[in-house]
Amino acid sequence: LGKCLTKITDINKLYLEKVINEGDIVVDATMGNGYDTKYLAEKVGEDGFVYSFDVQETALKSTKKRLDKENLSDRVKLILDGHENMDKYVEGEVSCVLFNLGYLPRADHNIITKPETTIKAIKHSLNLLKPHGVISIAIYTGHEGGMEEKNSVYEFVKNLDQNEFNVLECGFINQINNPPQLVLIEKKKEYIK
């Protein structure tokens, strides 16, 4: 169990195991190097579909390579556009939207997710989510702009109507040096815009 509680992304998967089924449509809102996209593609199986977004060409290249190697490319659409525009691409109701905020490791640390576009993307995700679907947001505050983004996300999610959404936060409360935070939003019933 010790190993299970080391990384926020692994803790996230403990929850997502219960949420994502074979044949589901899901979204990776922050593709990066494609680790999460690969995980999602495996989870939805050959009848499912993954939409994956990033604003950096290098993220798409690296993710494509990862998916090709595992023969998973057929069930994934890699989109070079911001997640704030996901409503233009995603068709159908989704069971999960994954956000892993911040910058791409080993790339330009100035290209980061930003409060305004992140909130816009979360709003789109709420509309796309099917009942009992989950939006998962891993938040990092160690970089410049990170705390501002966390505050914006919290301000938005804590005001979601509890009759419509369950909102859970999860984090390492005994860790120094800006530990990451995980926020999960579950849709309870139809979301009315």
Question: Residues in the site for ligand SAM, rule: CB under 6 A?
Answer: 30, 32-36, 53-56, 59, 82-84, 100, 102-104, 111, 113, 117
* Nearest-approach distance from CB 63 to ligand SAM, in angstroms: 8
Complex with ligand SAM: residue 110 or 163, whichever CB lies closer:
110
What is the distance between the alpha carbons of residues 150 and 126, in angstroms, rounded to a whole number? 18
Q: Decide whether 24 or 54 has the Cβ nearer to ligand SAM.
A: 54
CB closer to ligand SAM out of 83 and 150 = 83
> Residue 130 or residue 143: which is nearer to ligand SAM going by CB?
143
Determine the residue with CB nearest ligand SAM: 32
For the bound state, the minimum distance from the C-beta of residue 17 to ligand SAM, rounded and expressed in Å, comes to 17
Q: What is the nearest approach in angstroms of ligand SAM to the Cβ of residue 1? A: 24
Q: Of 15 and 164, which has the nearer Cβ to ligand SAM?
A: 15
Least gap, CB of 9 to ligand SAM (angstroms): 8
CB of 190 to ligand SAM, least distance (A): 26
Q: Are strands 165-171 and 76-80 parallel, antiparallel or unpaired?
A: unpaired
